[in-house]
Amino acid sequence: MTHVHTRARRAGAALAAALTWAALLAGCTGHGLDGVFGKNPAPADLIRISPDDGSRAVPADRRLRVRVVSGRLESVTVVRSQDARRSAVPGRLSADGTVWEPDDPRLALAARYTVDAVARDGGGRRSARHATFTTYVPEQRFTGYVIPEDRSTVGTGMIVSVQFDRQIANRAAVERAIRVTARPAVEIRPHWFGRDRLDFRPEHYWKPGTRVTVTLRLRDVEGAPGVYGQQYRTVAFTIGRSQVSLVDAARHTMRVRRDGRLLATLPITAGAPKTTTYNGKMVVMERLPVTRMNSRTVGFGGEYDITDVPHAMRLTESGTFVHGNYWAPEAPGHSNVSHGCVGLKDVRGGGSDTPAGWFFDRSLVGDVIEVVHSDDKQVAPDNGLGGWNMSWSDWTAGGAVDQS
């Protein structure tokens, strides 16, 4: 009896060992016993993922690709983790089902990618592969600052201006990453001023009611060697009514036209003979109910320091404004006494019923003010939003991407 029990225990142990060994083999290959005899390739042999599993500091231009050496891919899921957010990476299979690639060929930087792929081999057996890799983390980034403000309503002379906080060497790559569109549609072209500013405008002033969208896709765009963009951003604004004002420095007047109709002719004072006002088309960049004006900040000596200039609207970066003038009440309409600004009659503290107050209340950022008959040169196109002083052919020649 003891002998029978001993044989039974030995047989049971042998069967258990055989089953355990078969299970281990199945676990190692992922294909059961067929894999032991080489009838089915291992997942890493069947499914090839590039970049390799565990890769680090992968550059943005490295190709992400999943393929099979035989059979077809059944599914591919790629997830990108970046800035504490996870998002699926869209892609497409080839017609024969052997290759998967992402829709966007460039990888995001400072990101972790997780790839899960399932395939069926030539014999119809399924195999799965999991891989992860991380991309290069840049030490230097650049940002673009957009004018005008998001959701603003602006005048018909508004020029979209993107100012970068670093010098851009790869201007074509950065230009391609910024798109400006309009409804109703109109051709909009870019122009570079130096290597840190990119402006956009149509050939003529915008039509009232136009909706403009500025899309920045600068993240991971290499703007200069080792310097990458860091933002996805959209700015949208609306073009309001048309208002264009003509300043005649010789006649000491400003004619204000709204949608082509003359609203008013206002008396002004322009730049004195030794500090004349620029000629040309200038665009209102900002509106300030009151501001301080100090001659030392614009390249003069200590000629003036007025702490409460009312109804001020900036026209150039160099310091040209249209503003209220209460300290020379007899000058508007009669003589030019300013240091280059256009002055309208006002009172201290700013009056709503003065010419300056009336004009300020009816003006928008983006309105055009054109100066003529001043004994000075034309304002430079990059001094403020002065791009309307360039011909369309000169403007379009300033892009970095060949659009011929």
Question: Do 101 and 62 meet the contact criterion of CB atoms below 8 Å apart?
Answer: no
Q: Which of 191, 311, 323, 339 is catalytic?
A: 323
Q: In 173-187, which positions are buried (b, 16+ CB within 10 angstroms) versus exposed (e)?
A: bbbebbebebeeeee
Q: Pinpoint the alpha helices (H) of 244-390.
A: 355-361
The three-state secondary structure class of 313 is: strand
DSSP states of 46-95? HEEEESPTT--SB-TTSPPEEEESSSEEEEEEEEEEETTEEEE--EEE-T
Contacting residues for 37 by C-beta, under 8 A, at least 6 apart: none
Query: Would residue 323 show up in a list of annotated catalytic residues for this protein?
Result: yes
CA dist 336 and 63 (Å) reads 65
Take residue 143 and report the two structure tokens written for it.
């940002």
CA dist 180 and 151 (Å) reads 15
Q: Which of 252, 311, 339, 341 is catalytic?
A: 341
Query: Would residue 31 show up in a list of annotated catalytic residues for this protein?
Result: no
Report the catalytic residues: 323, 341
